[in-house]
Amino acid sequence: MASRPAASHTCRQRSAKGLRNPVTSKAATQNIDQRPNDNIRAWIKCLLTNDVLKSVDPKNEQGKKIVEHTAQKIKRGYVPPIIVLGKTAFDQIGGVVASEEAANVANLEPPVRIFYEINCKEKMTRVLSVHTKDRSLNTPLDWEYARPETNIATLLRIQCR
């Protein structure tokens, strides 16, 4: 399994009322692998932003650890790929790194998990499976080109360098 940078960015989820609720997408390094055909497969978990923010609260022990790890990573010069790509302003680095740390260490239950396959050469992606609390889809969808300015297009840019 090849080590790839983690990706973190904001996605949107439709609520039952049609309102758009922000969620954070996270592709952790340990959830990404390089296939023999050079394609990449990645599990993405979408976390509710409110859950991420609550887990970073320095008033609790877990939040303190997340804040400490965030500060250490930034001090060592870590810059998240989403900032390197210019999708998020550099002055947001603390929040982005804290969100990554929360996604990695907090026991947050994602409302949606998506398993993607990415063809870097063709700049195409397909969904292999989708899992929510209520149901799962385990039938791979057709390959499609990543639409610009979408979360999967950002993931493709991060992973296919």
> What token pair was written down for 106?
């907090």
> What token pair was written down for 38?
């050079």
> What token pair was written down for 112?
């949606």
Q: What integer pLDDT is reported at residue 5 of this predicted model?
A: 42
| Stretch 45-69: mean pLDDT | 89
Check pLDDT > 80 for residue 78: yes
Domain ranges within the chain, ordered by starting residue: 7-159
Q: Residue 43 and residue 157: Cα distance in Å, rounded?
A: 16
Q: What is the residue type of 13?
A: Q
| Stretch 118-138: mean pLDDT | 92
pLDDT in tens, 3-50: 344 444 434 333 223 333 344 555 544 467 777 788 989 888 888 888
Check pLDDT > 80 for residue 94: yes
CA-based nearest residue to 53, from 11, 94, 6, 19: 94
Percentage of the chain lying above the pLDDT 90 cut: 32
